[in-house]
Structure 1
Amino acid sequence: MHALTEQQIRSAFVNASRREAAQATLPDLDSLNWDRLDYLGWRDRKAPLSSYVVAEVDGEPVAVLLRAAERTGKRRKAVCAWCEDVVNTDDVALYVARRGGAAGRKGDTIGTLICGEFQCSQNVRRKPTRAEAGDATEEERELIVQLRIEGLRERAGRFVREVARTR
């Protein structure tokens, strides 16, 4: 992912008001390892149910305001719809985004399961387990990781594209 500035992120929101975008608490952008991010995701420290995702769509950043579903009762294991990691299934949460444009103003939303701390970029880069890769060569294992990275970028991009789509 290309390094982004605060202004680029705030102006890239497709489903947030100017006020919501301005009030978003951004992470420390200088401390991020942009080369190892396939999308940028973070929770708002000041508003625990608010989270944000920025993904590149057609080479441009698209930012989305998400709401985390309140956790009630026993936590269940789930697979993240973006990284599809089968090892880290304990911290997956339902996130809902208001659609952009008139549809969002009418209350239309779209939801998905995403890693609760947005660690998908780390998950797709882990070495494949023996169950996933069997006796694959090192080259084949690297290909598995590369395919995971491409899949994550495609699924995250598809989600933000769907949020941004105006009907």
Structure 2
Amino acid sequence: MLPMKPIAERDLRASFVNCTKGEAKRLAVPKDLAAQPWDDLDFLGWRDPAAPQRAYLVAESGDRLVGVALRQAAAQAGRARRSMCALCLTTHPGGGVALMTARRAGQAGQQGNSVGSYLCADLACSLYLRGKKEVEPGGRLRESLTLADQIERTTANLAAFLDKVTGA
């Protein structure tokens, strides 16, 4: 798999499929896009610092960018057990994995339909896979798959999620 190419803010904002152009124009983007570790990213994910329940994910899909606005579901009280991210299969204690929902694109989204998945709460899946970001001991299970195979599995899981959002 090839690393993600750097994205200009204009292209990032234009990529969102499940929000209006006005919403995309107003959403918080990472302060310094040029400083992102592009060579280690399979997708760009970030949280809105002013609204922690909001998150955003942008990925290359074929020859285009697909951006998705996400909302974190309310955390369950007393949740101390480990949970696994559906994209990268990293396990996290407590709130390290969150149910993220995305309004579906197009008319389905306008009718209030959404899809959800359990994702790393910080959306740093790519960095966990590559060992660039650590989870407390036991977070990344030892696998017999190569890193390339793990990346391929993660991008396939992401593509399946994005297909549900876009209705593809």
Q: TM-score, structure 1 length as denominator? A: 0.85
- 1:30-109 equivalences in 2 (<5 Å): 30-75=34-79, 76-86=81-91, 88-90=92-94, 91-109=96-114
Query: Which stretches of structure 1, 4 residues or more, deviate above 4 A after TM superposition?
Result: none
Match 2:22 to one of 9, 16, 19: 19
Q: Distance in 2 between matches of 1:126 and 1:66?
A: 25
For structure 1, the 5+ residue unaligned runs are 134-140
Larger Rg, first or second structure (1 or 2)? 1
Pick aligned residue for 1:132 from 142, 147, 160: 142
Give the Cα–Cα distance (whole angstroms) in 2 for the partners of residues 125 and 105 of structure 1: 38
Percent identical across equivalent pairs? 37
Question: Gaps spanning 5+ residues in structure 2: where?
Answer: 133-137
Count of residues in correspondence between the two structures: 155
Matched, 1:116 2:121: yes
The 3 A distance-change label for structure 1 pair 89 and 145 is: farther
Q: What residue identity is the alignment partner of 2:83? A: A
**What displacement does 1:161 show?**
2.3
Q: 1:112 Cα shift?
A: 0.1
1:74 deviates by 1.4
Residue by residue over 1:98-157, the C-alpha shift from the partner in whole angstroms, topping out at 9 and shown as x without a partner, is: 000000000110000000011100121139x9x735xxxxxxx7x621111111111112
TM-score (norm 2): 0.85
Q: Hey, which of these two has a bigger chunk of helix by percent?
A: 1
Which of 4, 24, 42 is 2:7 aligned to? 4
Q: CA RMSD in A?
A: 1.9
Amino acid at match of 2:113: D
Deviation of the 1:50 alpha carbon: 1.0
Distance, in Å, in 2 between the alignment partners of 1:161 and 1:94 is 18
